[in-house]
Amino acid sequence: MTKLEIRSPLPGTFYRASSPETPPFKADGTAVATGDVIGLIEVMKTFQEIASDVSGANIRYLVDNEEPVMAGQVIAEVEQ
């Protein structure tokens, strides 16, 4: 089993859901397909969708909701 990383393409603030009232894009432990949206990055008051560039099982987020992230920082890991 290998672990694959999903990195943030931009610096900003990370969100796991599209609004505080909606469920997260992905729950911990679920599977992810390439192109699935796994979160949003708020950068300079705009929101950019973060799509997974890998597919795998058992996603584990390494960044909490509403936490600042750097460009290139690993947001989540999936198993393959």
Partner 1 sequence: MTIQSVLVANRGEIAVRIIRAAKALGIRTVQVYSAADGDMLAVRLADEAINIGSPAPKKSYLNIEAVIDAAKAAGVDAVHPGYGFLSENGDFADAVVAAGMIFIGPSGDAIRLLGDKVAARSVAASAGVPTVPGSDGRVDTLEAARAVVEKTGFPMMIKAAAGGGGRGIRIVQTLADLEQQFPQASAEAAAAFGDGGLYLEKVITRARHVEVQILGDGENVVHCFERECSLQRRRQKVWEEAPAFLLPADIREKLCASAVALARAVKYRGAGTVEYLYDEDAGAFYFIEVNTRIQVEHPVTEMITGIDLVQEMFRVAGGAALSIRQEDVRVSGHAIECRINAEDPARGFMPAPGRIGTLEIPEGEGVRFDTMLYEGYTVPPFYDSLLGKLIVHADTREACLDRLKTALEGLKVEGLATTIPLHLALVDDDNVRRGDYHTRFLETWLETHFALPVTRKVEVA
DSSP-assigned letter for residue 32? B
Q: Which residue has the tokens 């890991």?
A: 77
Cβ proximity to partner 1, 68 vs 80, nearer residue: 68
CA distance 63 to 28: 12
Which two three-digit tokens encode residue 16? 């796991």
Q: Of 11-19, 30-38, 50-58, 72-80, which segment contacts partner 1 by CB under 8 A?
A: 11-19
Pick the binder of partner 1 from 46, 49, 53, 60 (CB under 8 A): 46
Interface residues with partner 1 (CB under 8 A) are: 10-13, 42-46, 66, 68
